[in-house]
Amino acid sequence: MTVTIGVLALQGDVREHLAALTASGAAAVPVRRRAELDAVDALVLPGGESTTIDKLLRAFDLDGPVRERLAAGMPAYGSCAGMILLADRIEGGIDGQRTLGGLDVTVRRNAFGRQVDSFETDVRIDGIPESEDRPVHAVFIRAPWVQEVGPAATALARVESGPAAGRIVAVRQGSLLATSFHPEVTGDTRVHRLFVEMVREAAASVRP
């Protein structure tokens, strides 16, 4: 089944996500307008600056429509800032910062530190088979982590070593998926393939 997945094209690694989704078997399109949002089966919220994306969503009159689609069950995947946008609760946000919500989690903004504190590590993600015993290589750039997972959501991955060992960096709730890291920049499409399969499952459940 072919599914069409949009990438919110207001800020962040839009082209990289489009390429990873295409390589994963989806029809991938940028989304900047309501009509483009209405035409997709699912949406990717890329990294960037969560407060800026929040403002741009409102400036482009997409805030309400995206909220409506999420509330109606549209699958979505958020990476880094996208994770913050999908979280129901934020720690370390600025005054007036809002999220789209949907994930029963508390996310700590910029939890791993500033840009100079960006790092890379390997993580094992529940639901993603390891390829030739190779875990997913995760790139963290001013990344959040999940401070608390509510009963509706499930933790999929944690940092395995270093000062942040044990911190949750991937979560899922139904057809919503979020990671603290940027799989679109590594060439490893396993996270995107997982999301495409989630979208296909959701589409199959509603299509005749």
Q: What is the DSSP string of 186-202?
A: TS--HHHHHHHHHHHHH
Structural domains of the chain, count: 1
In percent, the amount of the chain with pLDDT more than 70 equals 94
In percent, the amount of the chain with pLDDT more than 90 equals 75
Task: In whole angstroms, give the CA distance from residue 191 to residue 90.
Answer: 24
Check if 184 is active-site.
Answer: yes
Q: What is the mean pLDDT of residues 121-144?
A: 84
Per-residue pLDDT reduced to its tens digit, 177-188: 999 999 999 999
Report whether 34 belongs to an annotated binding site: no
Residues spanned by the domain of 125 = 4-206
What does pTM read for this prediction?
A: 0.93
Check if 182 is active-site.
Answer: yes
Report whether 102 belongs to an annotated binding site: no
- pLDDT score of 114: 60
Catalytic residue among 184, 192, 197, 201: 184
Report whether 48 belongs to an annotated binding site: yes
Task: In whole angstroms, give the CA distance from residue 92 to residue 102.
Answer: 19
CATH, residue 116: 3.40.50.880
Per-residue pLDDT reduced to its tens digit, 15-56: 999 999 999 999 999 999 999 999 999 999 999 889 899 999
| pLDDT range class, residue 116, cuts 50, 70, 90 | very low
Check if 17 is active-site.
Answer: no
